[in-house]
Structure 1
């Protein structure tokens, strides 16, 4: 089979899946909220029951992260997401306001194209299937080539359960021949209503450029600011818990630590005590070469790898028990790897004079990369927290919690989600944690409550600036002023 043959087969597969999904969605549209909810529950249960098997398959195929943590992500994507959406009304009449005489009706979008990354492949597939079906939409998955087998297996598991619960078979499908041309066909097809894109910047940009409405995410580059009133041991624990969870592949995980000068030594000591290894200047430069590729993108050789694997790659000798590699840094820029997103247990470490300077440093880091995504602050000073909330260009400001788990709603009360919008500042269409309500249109039925005569009666006839008290006098006054200006 030639490359051209593969491209053509991928295009044809995309077209066939879209046609089948459109027909299946028309059947979904006839189902009641109760019937839809049974399908979603079945997907959740299948995802949860198979959480360990799917996690192991994903870890082996991608080489990213820890299968034990992927089990937890699969459980979160099925169980926690289900609990958050099970009682939502998404089908039919959502709201009736008899006093205002307005009715809201949930309308499915149609067919959704879901792009799935290799970093969180099985959990993202379970999650996107649930929120799409909950909203009455059919979904077609476009898998990352490096995770195609685990994604196909996840789709098989949840589809089998959904069909048994009454779901039309073609409402859930997945491309099996991954190719750029096939994905482009999927994204640009007139019968695809929305693209739900999770993955690298280039892929998300392609989704937004397709001409089809899209919900995408940008890169994360969240700084973690430890303010002087923070519980430092607990702050470091939370940061390390987050950065080592699945070896740092969740985009909301911390990418740098920013501290005030007055607590610098205390934080360094605590980091070292909890398994943080501060690189020497030579080691810092040595590892730096492996973080980014020559084209400025993250090096996949470090993504989701353990500190031992990264140290071996960069030929570093690190102590036993090292959990996170830390580089002291003072620069920020596209050509400064430590100031960029690093989906691995690697952190930059910045020291600033006070919280105001730390605030500016965090903004600088976010505008360098990660605008609109996430920032983490560890503090007991509510005024400082509020100041950060008012100024930071992020969609999620997380307080005293691990970034990776707080951002997705596992350790916070944010909407549980594995697609995190970055808002306009991040170049995306929403700042929400994406849920079913982002995947429906709302049709509003509005009854007339006034007549034209009512509008005229309620229109003020006295304009104070002209000192006139009826429409005729108002018009005459305006005409006189215009004529006077002309002369």
Structure 2
């Protein structure tokens, strides 16, 4: 039976969608230059409040740290904005004079934005920017544990848009989020598309809503370190990436797979940059709290190594950034083998890149299909072999996967929503941007005639006949029509009739 909060949440979703629908109709009529001014103003306001919002999120959720959350907010406000600011999202966006095809874009309408507790403020900044850039309205359903910071972020983005000329209520956020209310938001007739970032259950619910949805899968990211790698650089990148936000970004490394002959040298480099190699006893204590009831223990998510150690009676030095445990087994019930969303890293040892490739594939298969894979290597033949075989949408080479996957240190499109393709039961393997939130209409002019049927029948018949001795000058003109002399046609017909007797 529904509680009063559930009923209130459902009604709120309906009310917000109605307002969003009316606001979106007005936004859709604005010219490109005004849309661009609105998005620019939103980005500037987000940049200005990046630190404040990061502090709110850290204090409210207990996940990550203020410094890294500020960086994520700035990434959305600056890097994502830079990627979309010159994008055409109004009217005719391209004309191919040669093929005589025009492309015209239209907004999808009203978007339901599902927000996670791990990255609430940066996700709202990101989704607000790409939604409005494509002339859509967006209604957010925040995670209850991140309600205050989500509401504040949405308010800042909405006010900035309105100050620049956007209709009121183009960006809204639910104040009474609940599971029934979120389901109503996603399945309501006024919702045109869903941008779902959250746990597997929420993403599955989005795909089951009957609406077009962009969701993401888990990121159990394996990273292979080849003998040709720059070990110092690889270790630095991995530690910086894995420790960022205390491991809450889904593209962060979950397991490092290293060649035996360079294992000790690589471990020494990891320690240099802040890794702590757990003893057998310490590893057993840490792994005892990674899973609870077969799923990830939420108490370790986004927590520091020191906080995690305290939970099991261990004390780690302040300069420790990542806890590393050696592992041999792979399976969904193996704590160190799964996605941990914390600064805990598994270490696998292999003999040769072929075994390394197999281990990485198996790690992806137990919970990270289609997401991200990393490799530190200078041998392009090995890189090519891994890239062809790994079931991942992002292959990050010689860079931390956290930053490479979102497009901060690579030329991949900057995004905080990373598709996993059909590997991960997602509709796309792209990094999601404003380009995914538009319908593209194509105006195509006729450029040739479709007169193949009779001519193809003659040609197919001639394939069964011996035409040796006949001078054939069959060609195709620029309009796609066959040309052949009357005399040659007459001779072909004679041969066909003769063969039919």
* Residue in 1 that maps onto 2:476: none
RMSD of the alignment, in Å? 2.0
* Residue in 2 that maps onto 1:411: 409
Say if 2:306 and 2:315, in contact at 8 Å, map to a contact too. no
Displacement after TM superposition at 1:4 (Å): 1.1
Asked if residue 272 in structure 1 is aligned to residue 261 in structure 2, the reply is no
Query: Of 350, 367, 370, which residue of structure 1 is paired with 2:368?
Result: 370
* Residue in 1 that maps onto 2:355: 357
State how far apart, in whole Å, the 1-side matches of 2:457 and 2:98 are.
26
1:253-272: CA deviations, max 9, x gaps? 00011001111111122222
Displacement after TM superposition at 1:331 (Å): 0.5
* Residue in 2 that maps onto 1:462: 459
User: What is the SS of the residue equivalent to 2:295?
Assistant: coil
Structure 1 residues 447 and 149: CA distance shift in structure 2, 3 A: same
State how far apart, in whole Å, the 2-side matches of 1:272 and 1:444 are.
56
Query: Of 317, 323, 326, which residue of structure 2 is paired with 1:325?
Result: 323
* Residue in 1 that maps onto 2:312: 314
State how far apart, in whole Å, the 1-side matches of 2:399 and 2:455 are.
53
User: What is the SS of the residue equivalent to 2:253?
Assistant: coil
State how far apart, in whole Å, the 1-side matches of 2:63 and 2:466 are.
75
State how far apart, in whole Å, the 1-side matches of 2:337 and 2:257 are.
11
* Residue in 2 that maps onto 1:133: 132
State how far apart, in whole Å, the 1-side matches of 2:307 and 2:147 are.
24
Alignment of 1:262-301 (within 5 A): 262-294=261-293, 296-301=294-299
Say if 2:322 and 2:345, in contact at 8 Å, map to a contact too. yes
State how far apart, in whole Å, the 1-side matches of 2:100 and 2:269 are.
60
1:394-443: CA deviations, max 9, x gaps? 00000111111111111111111000000001110100000011111100
Say if 1:109 and 1:440, in contact at 8 Å, map to a contact too. yes
State how far apart, in whole Å, the 2-side matches of 1:206 and 1:97 are.
40
State how far apart, in whole Å, the 2-side matches of 1:320 and 1:187 are.
44
User: What is the SS of the residue equivalent to 1:12?
Assistant: helix
State how far apart, in whole Å, the 2-side matches of 1:455 and 1:136 are.
44
- Structure 1: 5+ residue runs without aligned partners? 481-487
Query: Of 417, 422, 431, which residue of structure 1 is paired with 2:420?
Result: 422
State how far apart, in whole Å, the 2-side matches of 1:404 and 1:320 are.
23
* Residue in 1 that maps onto 2:37: 38
Matched pairs, number: 475
State how far apart, in whole Å, the 2-side matches of 1:125 and 1:192 are.
18
When the two structures are superposed, what TM-score results if normalisation uses the length of structure 1?
0.94
State how far apart, in whole Å, the 1-side matches of 2:454 and 2:130 are.
48
Displacement after TM superposition at 1:321 (Å): 2.4
Say if 1:462 and 1:468, in contact at 8 Å, map to a contact too. no
Displacement after TM superposition at 1:467 (Å): 2.5
State how far apart, in whole Å, the 2-side matches of 1:400 and 1:259 are.
14
Say if 1:92 and 1:106, in contact at 8 Å, map to a contact too. yes
Structure 1 residues 3 and 67: CA distance shift in structure 2, 3 A: farther
1:284-316: CA deviations, max 9, x gaps? 12111211121x221111111001100001212
Alignment of 1:183-332 (within 5 A): 183-294=182-293, 296-332=294-330
State how far apart, in whole Å, the 2-side matches of 1:244 and 1:328 are.
18
Structure having the higher Rg: 2
Alignment of 1:174-185 (within 5 A): 174-185=173-184
User: What is the SS of the residue equivalent to 1:369?
Assistant: coil
* Residue in 2 that maps onto 1:69: 68
Alignment of 1:102-117 (within 5 A): 102-117=101-116
State how far apart, in whole Å, the 1-side matches of 2:417 and 2:448 are.
43
Say if 1:115 and 1:198, in contact at 8 Å, map to a contact too. yes
State how far apart, in whole Å, the 2-side matches of 1:320 and 1:161 are.
40
* Residue in 1 that maps onto 2:380: 382
When the two structures are superposed, what TM-score results if normalisation uses the length of structure 2?
0.91
User: What is the SS of the residue equivalent to 2:385?
Assistant: helix
